[in-house]
């Protein structure tokens, strides 16, 4: 039973990360909407500080969750690091995409990239969200396999 508890740390941490990601994406979408005339009368206020802080927290948590996933796979399940196949490889791609997204966000917060960088920032991060949805399905199937359901 203790092993099952350790195994659940990774999906629980990643679930928390995804909840935070959803909020960060929502805040980013509000910013995007505020740039269009048809939404100007809604008085959308972009919570920039919250968006940035939560985005960084998300990246830290997803990175920590990924590292824990590899360690749990190696030391608790006694499997090679990349034994989870597409789930492991896609996880690395997802973390890299969000790191790039946070890097773009950093440039934006320092007043750089006023032209197309905000759109690219959004595109990279929303593409990452799409991959996260695939990753959830891969993770659920792995969890079912490992827990023996």
Name the token pair of 48: 């920039």
**How many Å apart are CA 73 and CA 66, to the nearest integer?**
11
Q: Once rounded to an integer, what is the mean pLDDT over residues 128-145?
A: 95
Q: Are 94 and 128 in contact (CB under 8 A)?
A: yes
Cα dist. 16→19, 80, 122 in Å?
A: 5, 26, 21
Q: Which helix (H) or strand (E) holds 22?
A: helix 2-34
pLDDT, position 127:
97
Asked if the model's pLDDT at residue 38 lies above 90, the reply is no
Tell me the per-residue pLDDT of 9-32, one tens digit each, with 9 for 90 and over: 999 999 999 999 999 999 999 888
**How many Å apart are CA 52 and CA 100, to the nearest integer?**
14
């Amino acid at each position: 039973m203790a092993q099952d508890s350790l195994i659940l740390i990774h999906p629980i941490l990643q679930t928390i990360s995804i909840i935070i990601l959803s909020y960060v994406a929502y805040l980013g979408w509000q910013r995007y909407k505020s740039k269009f005339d048809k939404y100007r009368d809604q008085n959308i206020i972009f919570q920039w500080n919250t968006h940035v802080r939560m985005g960084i927290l998300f990246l830290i948590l997803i990175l920590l969750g990924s590292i824990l996933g590899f360690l749990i796979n190696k030391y608790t399940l006694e499997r090679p690091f990349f034994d989870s196949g597409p789930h492991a490889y896609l996880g690395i791609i997802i973390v890299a995409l969000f790191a790039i997204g946070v890097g773009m966000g950093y440039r934006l917060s320092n007043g750089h990239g006023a032209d197309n960088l905000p759109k690219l920032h959004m595109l990279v991060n929303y593409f990452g969200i799409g991959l996260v949805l695939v990753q959830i399905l891969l993770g659920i199937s792995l969890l079912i396999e490992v827990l023996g359901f």
